[in-house]
Structures are given as structure tokens and as C-alpha cells.
Structure 1
Amino acid sequence: MDQKRVKQILSSSADIDVKYNGASVWIDELKEDGKTATVHLRGPMEERSDVDISELVED
């Protein structure tokens, strides 16, 4: 995924399914470097991770 699409998803009110390593995640924020984002798994676990946006896939 590219930086432009991450920004579009963050500003959208729609529920857009994004996957990281096959797991559905929410994108919390795009980091200042523009190459990484903070995400967390959909569901009860709130553990957050910083991941490379190139590894995010829109379903």
C-alpha cells in the first residue's frame, strides 16, 4: 500500500478491510516518516504495532 492510500483510509468514515500478514487490522496513524504506520488487530486485542505500509494489503 502507498502513503496516499493510507491517508485516504485514515480520513474515510467507511469500514475498509486492511490486512497485515493475513490478519485484519485497523490503521491508527501514519508515522512522520511516511513509510510506517501504527496498526492494531480488529477484535478484542488492542496490541499496537508499527509496520511498514508496503506490507499492508487492502482486501
Structure 2
Amino acid sequence: MNKQRAQEIASSPVMANVSYKGDAIYIQHVDDKNETARIYALDQPENEQEVSLNDLKEDYR
């Protein structure tokens, strides 16, 4: 996922369909400098992690 789109999703009040390794996730924050995102799986909000933007996929259905 590109950085600009990840930032749009993170700042939007509308939930987007984004996944990380097949799991539906929520993007909390995007780190411009490192091109990473702070995310958590929707079913495990207590397990936050920092991942590469390249590993995020948006489902356009």
C-alpha cells in the first residue's frame, strides 16, 4: 500500500477493508519516515504492531 493511501485510511472516520497477512486490520498511525504503520487486528485490538506499508493490502469489494 502506498504511504498516501495509508494516511488517508488512518485519518478517515470511515472504516476501510485493509488486511495484513490475510487478517482484517485497523491502521492507527502511519510513520512517513520509516514507511511503516501501527496496526492491530480487528479481533485482537490489544496486539498492536509496527509493519511495513508494503505488507498492507486494501480490499476494494
**TM-score w.r.t. length of structure 1:** 0.88
Cα offset, 1:13, TM superposition: 1.2
CA contact (8 A) 1:3 1:34 kept: no
Residue 22, structure 1, aligned to residue 22, structure 2? yes
More strand by share: 2
Q: 1:7 to 1:45 in 2, by over 3 A?
A: closer
Unaligned segments of structure 1, at least 5 residues: none
Runs of 4+ in 1 over 2 A off after TM superposition: none
**Superposition RMSD in Å:** 1.3
Equivalenced residue count is 59
Unaligned segments of structure 2, at least 5 residues: none
Q: State the percentage of identical aligned residues.
A: 27
